[in-house]
Amino acid sequence: MKRVLTYGTFDLFHFGHLEILRRAKALGDYLIVAVSTDEFNERDKHKQTVYPYEHRAAIVAANRFVDEVIPETHWGQKAEDVKKHGVNIFVMGDDWKGKFDEELKGLCEVVYLPRTERISSTNIKQSIRDGG
């Protein structure tokens, strides 16, 4: 069984999120998604989410492409998770291209998928702030 792992905050779940999950699942048989906790987002990513971790994790878990959801609590856990969960393929959006190659070298294949154009939680939040 080919196991795939990806990470994200998944706030304001949108079509771009759906697409990365669909494409990640297509690379293997079992998709694990690590959703950033509220504490990790605030402490290390310096971002505030609209929805709390429990809601974001439940939304991701309800997606038919997702087999398992785990919490992301710190930057350094990726190699730990790859080993712990027997991951074959690590997937991230191409805005992270090259960031995890060295850290995960020899542990699994690293794949960077193109982001869905013109769609992001940041843009959605800005549109809401701008009134439209």
Helix (H) or strand (E) holding 77: helix 77-84
Give CA–CA dist 47/4, Å, rounded: 26
Could you tell me if 31 and 61 are in contact, meaning their C-beta atoms sit under 8 angstroms apart? no
Environment class of 38 (CB within 10 Å of its CB; exposed 0-12, middle 13-18, buried 19+):
middle
Q: Which token pair is 23?
A: 């494409």
- From the list 2, 25, 47, 99, the catalytic residue is 47
Q: How far is CA 74 from the centre of its chain?
A: 13
Q: Is 45 a catalytic residue?
A: yes
- From the list 2, 45, 97, 99, the catalytic residue is 45
* Catalytic site positions: 45, 47
